[in-house]
Structure 1
């Protein structure tokens, strides 16, 4: 089985502004094609199902990535994006790992979504990795609510307070994600310079800071899955046959 689940936000409204949010397109497309090119099948899901909203800012020329352009020419991927499965129909047993892209949307819906929170716990309890980037780590807040102490002492990354201020949206969100995660006991590590790529790996959690971190976070998750598969294969090779089955006997 080589299947990755990607959980996308269904939320589009910001606070105190007419501006919209949703999925940051590059934070979906960069990891999506990392997974596809590594041979994984990707399933897309969202709380409401159907086509998730896309943050209009992520479609501006200065924010377009190579994977965005690839997506625009990929009819299969665009169809999958427009027909995401409703989240409450998803079971962790069908997937090797789960990945949460950002965009501001998750700090509203995925941070409080019961299905998402329980799903994250199912993956962790099954020994399966959970990846998230930028505002995607907001989904961990729901998991923490179901299992208090989950984030205490965990080292993660997420969109920083400084970056939130620099993009001019700190007054349009209900809370600052870095601060909220730190309140829950997480050690939030970020790049020394805002908007540079930064990825943290703590056990089964792999988290990235910002849009530039989306691809590297996906690569780190793929590497973890590969190392785990190699370890399992190695264990199998190291096992000695039962002496009772020795053909010399």
Structure 2
């Protein structure tokens, strides 16, 4: 796959929630794992974010229980850390030069993904050109305002997944009342006409619908990345 390029998009936000008072950032596993899966497959990887520059990492994702071989490798990789601290600004990205885009998760994506015009344009450009679009966990919130070429919601009529309502409840959030969550990803995708595919809580679940690939949670990041390689082959 030498010569192919993937845009790995992370949030620039360190706060989220309806009152913007909750700490967050990108979820480390969802950045580190795909980064190495892509690099090991010979792909060129560019990390980008709405604001460019340093990517905030959710402190919770660096707790021992959530660290993985990929995150520990990233922690010890000076080159990878340098890339993470100097991400490309989305407005400087030429979408046409990429073969795929992947949206990493973290609750902070609610802050700067859904209404970001540059991100929407990148996703729509790649998808409508028949290229690979993927997102994991809360990364799929970046798809909710994207459209197909015919103007219908990107996820309409497609099998999709994302962080489940039951998983939100397990981390102390209410996807019905939505007093902290701006919206439930599971409910939003269903409202948009997506065929939401829920796996067991905290199990790896990646769903492919042609060139659109979505993952349910942090446990799904490697499966999503591998599905992208298959779609790029």
Q: In the alignment, which residue of structure 2 is the partner of 1:234?
A: none
Shift of 1:214: 0.4
Matching of residue 194 in structure 1 with residue 201 in structure 2: yes
Cα displacement string for residues 3-49 of structure 1 (whole angstroms, at most 9, x for unaligned residues):
11101111221335854111000011011110011111100100010
Partner of 2:25: helix, strand, or coil? coil
SS in 1 for 2:223: helix
Structure 1 residue 224 corresponds to structure 2 residue 220: no
Of 159, 164, 167, the residue aligned with 1:160 is 164
After superposition, residues 1-249 of structure 1 pair within 5 angstroms as 1-15=3-17, 18-144=21-147, 147-170=151-174, 171-191=179-199, 193-226=200-233
Judged with a 3 Å threshold, the aligned counterparts in structure 2 of structure 1 residues 19 and 105 are, in CA distance, closer, same or farther, namely closer
Moved beyond 6 Å, runs of 4+: none
1: CA distance, partners of 2:21 / 2:141: 23
Structure 1 regions of 5+ residues with no counterpart?
A: 227-249
What CA distance in whole angstroms lies between the structure 2 residues aligned with 1:140 and 1:149?
A: 9
**Count of residues in Structure 1 that have an aligned counterpart in Structure 2:** 225
Bigger fraction of residues in helix: 1
Once residues 2 and 102 of structure 1 are traced to their aligned partners in structure 2, the CA distance between those partners, rounded to angstroms, is 23
TM-score (norm 1): 0.86
Q: Give the secondary structure class of the aligned counterpart of 1:119.
A: helix
TM-score (norm. length: structure 2): 0.92
CA RMSD of aligned residues (A): 1.6
